[in-house]
Amino acid sequence: MGKKSSLLIGVILTATTCGLVYVLNRPIGALPALGRLLDPVNGCWANAEPVNEDFSGVRDIPGVLQEVKVWFDDRLTPHIHAQNDRDAYFVQGYIHASFRLWQMDMQTRAAAGRVSEVVGEKALPFDRKQRRKGMVYAAENSLKTGLANPASKLMLEAYTDGINGYMATLTERAMPLEYKLMGFKPEPWTPLKSALLLKYMADDLTGNVDDIALTYLRDAMPADQFALLFPERDTTSSPVIPKGTIFEKPSLAAPLAPSDSAAFPHFTPADFGERREDGKGSNNWVVSGNRTASGAPILCNDPHLALNLPSLWYEIQLQSPGMNVYGASLPGAPGVIIGFNDSVSWGVTNNYRDVKDYYLIKQVAGNSGKYWFAGNQVDFTTRVERIAVKGKPDVVDTVKYTIHGPVMYDDKYKDKTGLQRMLAVCWMGHRGTNEMLAIYNMNRATGYNSFVSAIMNFECPAQNMAYADRQGNIAIWGQGQFVNKWKNQGRYVMDGSDSATLWKELIPMRENPHVLNPERGFVSSANQTVTDASYPYWYNGSFIETRSWRINHVLGGIQKATIQDMCALQQDTYSILAEKMLPKMLSKLNDKASSSEHTIVAALKKWDYKLAADSKEATVYQIWWTNLYWDWWRNRFDKVPDQLWPSVERTMQLLQSDDIDQIGLFSERVNASFVKAMDSVHALEKVNSTKKTDDGGKWYMAKNTSATHLTKLPAFSYDHLKIGGWGNTVNAAKGGHGPSWRMVVQMGKEIEAYAVYPGGQSGNPGSKYYASFLQTWAAGGYNKLHFLPNAASQPNPAIKYTLTLKPKA
């Protein structure tokens, strides 16, 4: 080869090498930059945490005031011992960020509608919806209130500094794996982000919007039929506050309702919005000491939320002078949300009273800057929402704000079903509420009175707060900030131009439904109706009854309750729905169906109504019932744009009535849906069964409870977890939803506590702590919690690592 040709080939090869490096150094489409990712020194390999990683150490951290000890136990739960409150929240932020930074970043991005910035255009509809809902507006309002109070200000700022203190030490190499895969970097934390996270939870828990569908349905059928199918309250409810509880005389009179025609607009089928999402629910209960084996009250809680990885929850113990609290914290927010301290314990379920209403806005004809209110032309205020989109120019959406709240839908932002009307949303979460302060004081509560004072700042999302203390008190509060409404206010979309529809007086929070040490010896809630009809204030909501029937039935019969009994009740898969419906369904089955499927029909007749993981009867029943429910209402409601169908509970009640037997249609539907269900079951058996297993038809395979990574990457997710239950059983493990934190605390002389959650303490998919509790959770196991005394040295053998954080001079 001559010199010239060598040179030429050399130049070409050099260019090719540069080209190769260039290609490997940049993302292509959804693929990450392969060179950067695969590089063992700085890429994904650096996230391969050694299985015997030592988390001990001594670090000098600017911002720490006095030495802080972090003791990690064998499950990597940190026990933080600080000498002052600021350090406690600083180190909580530091530790949250060490193990969950990417998740915190993504969840607050989701809250603020900033996902497109890192994943591109596909998240734009989601981001726009978040902005339209006024999520950032809401968080800004709460931040203002939070910073105005010295305690919540301290929490927010110390926590923020702690996260940023960790980020200052973060090298490219140590960056969470997901950043490397998605090709972006974390930005500094701000107190607004913590406020956003709490609004994200509030939105998740108060997002039900039956108002629009009900507005249509009440026009679409005769009034008596509407009342039959969509009763305002379930009269068979076993309410949160036991029946017969005497409520105090209300301080406010019921406001005068405007005339129906003035208050509510009318919708045609073309005007429609969101599909109902149900199944979010939770359980909590406390059994009083006179009904437990130990004589001490036992408090239990399992909030049902999305089963994601990294888990929504992070287990933690926080100590500072005057505080020693243990429980579930939310990465992204300071304090402990559900748990116990050395005096009291508490657990929460969603309260579901309606705190989100829609208003039809009448824009002034020919003037898009004004709308009608109380006979006047009023200016909209506007908020310009600039949404950054990865690889594309920013998208700008100008959102109009009314006296009620932001205009959610208009001609520039239609719901996916094409809603044509201008609707503003009025949400309690938009207000500058300060739940952070409530958490601050709940974490330090020393007894019933201080706990009750603490929860007076817990305004939204409304929660049923179960309480137990070491003095033996048990209580439950239907807590939240509510509006003194006239009957039916906000049940339907309201006319936003009439001042009578405005949210006016707030109900004093001390008048919220509550009960202390009730005679029946236990308190409980499972998202059911909050009170019986004797509660003086009017309210509506999307309540779910099924689980509460079962819980109250079991607790009502219990005498010497043990911790094991309580764990067993959290695992309970008994379906009241099946108990009530299946015998009736079986009785209508014709000979043809029963003979061709005689084995399963015989098994169903003997079935114990438990939706156990291994049960094949559960699969058949559940699919059969779903088909029956579908067939029963389809003809009537399929044309309804919003698809709000009568609730499962209501359907059950209607189908049980004797009148149904007069209708031949019922047994026809029962048989048709059985045939359809068996087709599905046989198909399932075929698809799910492999050479290794014939589990295909078993309930856990059919329902597929999964814990899915936030990126949805199957490689970081787990599916077909072997767990029983469904939305209508106490153990409400559904597909992607379920008990997100199970806790049982006995408030005796020595506090004895157990908990588990479907995830692990580390958010790093390369860590052995990533999903370390998942199988225990699925199998119904618990971890014993090491609740350490508030002391500077700890002899507890469960402590495996000690991390010391020192102030940097």
Q: Kindly list the residues in this chain that would bind another protein in the complex (CB under 8 A).
A: 1, 3-11, 13-14, 16-17, 20-21, 24-25, 34-36, 38-52, 177, 181, 713-716, 765-768, 770
Residue 366 host element (H or E)? none
| Cβ distance to another protein smaller for residue 43 or 725 | 43
Burial classification of residue 477, based on how many CB atoms lie within 10 Å of its CB (0-12 exposed, 13-18 middle, 19 or more buried): buried
Q: What share of the chain is helix, strand, coil (3-state, %, to 5)?
A: 40, 20, 40
Question: Shortest gap between Cβ of 740 and another protein (angstroms)?
Answer: 23
**What angle do helix axes 135-148 and 124-132 make, rounded to 10 degrees?**
50
| Cβ distance to another protein smaller for residue 44 or 378 | 44
Question: Shortest gap between Cβ of 78 and another protein (angstroms)?
Answer: 21
- Quote the CA–CA distance of 157 and 160 in Å, as a whole number: 5
Q: Count the Cβ atoms, other than its own, within 10 Å of residue 418.
A: 12
Let me know how long the chain is. Answer: 809
| Cβ distance to another protein smaller for residue 38 or 388 | 38
| Cβ distance to another protein smaller for residue 40 or 391 | 40
Question: Shortest gap between Cβ of 738 and another protein (angstroms)?
Answer: 23
| Cβ distance to another protein smaller for residue 50 or 222 | 50
- Quote the CA–CA distance of 113 and 458 in Å, as a whole number: 25
Residues 6+ apart with CB under 8 A from 633: 645, 646, 651
Question: Shortest gap between Cβ of 717 and another protein (angstroms)?
Answer: 10
- Residue 353 DSSP symbol: B
| Cβ distance to another protein smaller for residue 32 or 334 | 32
Measure Cα distances from 365 to 265, 397, 414 in Å. Answer: 18, 22, 20
| Cβ distance to another protein smaller for residue 162 or 765 | 765
- Quote the CA–CA distance of 36 and 179 in Å, as a whole number: 12
299 - beta bridge partners? 286, 745
| Cβ distance to another protein smaller for residue 282 or 706 | 706
What letter represents residue 668's amino acid?
A: E
Question: Shortest gap between Cβ of 185 and another protein (angstroms)?
Answer: 14
- Quote the CA–CA distance of 610 and 335 in Å, as a whole number: 38
Question: Shortest gap between Cβ of 110 and another protein (angstroms)?
Answer: 22
Residue among 535, 607, 616 at smallest CA distance from 577: 607
| Cβ distance to another protein smaller for residue 42 or 190 | 42
Question: Shortest gap between Cβ of 309 and another protein (angstroms)?
Answer: 11
- Residue 645 DSSP symbol: P
Question: Shortest gap between Cβ of 57 and another protein (angstroms)?
Answer: 18
| Cβ distance to another protein smaller for residue 47 or 552 | 47
DSSP string covering 714-763:
GGG-B-S------TTSSS---SSEEES-EEEEEESSSEEEEEE-SS-S--
Measure Cα distances from 241 to 17, 235, 519 in Å. Answer: 73, 14, 12
Question: Shortest gap between Cβ of 41 and another protein (angstroms)?
Answer: 4
Question: Shortest gap between Cβ of 580 and another protein (angstroms)?
Answer: 44
| Cβ distance to another protein smaller for residue 25 or 66 | 25
Question: Shortest gap between Cβ of 31 and another protein (angstroms)?
Answer: 10
| Cβ distance to another protein smaller for residue 440 or 716 | 716
What letter represents residue 404's amino acid?
A: H
| Cβ distance to another protein smaller for residue 363 or 717 | 717
Question: Shortest gap between Cβ of 766 and another protein (angstroms)?
Answer: 3
- The answer to whether the beta carbons of residues 467 and 478 sit under 8 Å apart is no
| Cβ distance to another protein smaller for residue 53 or 661 | 53
| Cβ distance to another protein smaller for residue 46 or 755 | 46
What letter represents residue 145's amino acid?
A: T
494 - beta bridge partners? 359
- Quote the CA–CA distance of 241 and 326 in Å, as a whole number: 27
| Cβ distance to another protein smaller for residue 249 or 712 | 712
- The answer to whether the beta carbons of residues 354 and 343 sit under 8 Å apart is no
Residue among 406, 341, 363 at smallest CA distance from 132: 406
Question: Shortest gap between Cβ of 639 and another protein (angstroms)?
Answer: 43
| Cβ distance to another protein smaller for residue 178 or 617 | 178
Question: Shortest gap between Cβ of 45 and another protein (angstroms)?
Answer: 5
Question: Shortest gap between Cβ of 121 and another protein (angstroms)?
Answer: 22
| 379-408 exposure pattern, b = at least 16 Cβ within 10 A, e = fewer | ebeeeebebebbeeeebebebbbbbbbbbb
| Cβ distance to another protein smaller for residue 17 or 534 | 17
Residue among 361, 233, 278 at smallest CA distance from 653: 233
Structure tokens at 462: 């409304």
Residues 6+ apart with CB under 8 A from 15: none
Residues 6+ apart with CB under 8 A from 523: 240, 242, 285, 286, 466, 474, 475, 476, 515
DSSP string covering 592-642:
HHHHHTHHHHHHHHH---B--TT-HHHHHHHHHHHHHHHHHHHHHHTTSTT
Question: Shortest gap between Cβ of 408 and another protein (angstroms)?
Answer: 37
Question: Shortest gap between Cβ of 95 and another protein (angstroms)?
Answer: 22
Question: Shortest gap between Cβ of 115 and another protein (angstroms)?
Answer: 20
- Quote the CA–CA distance of 68 and 64 in Å, as a whole number: 8
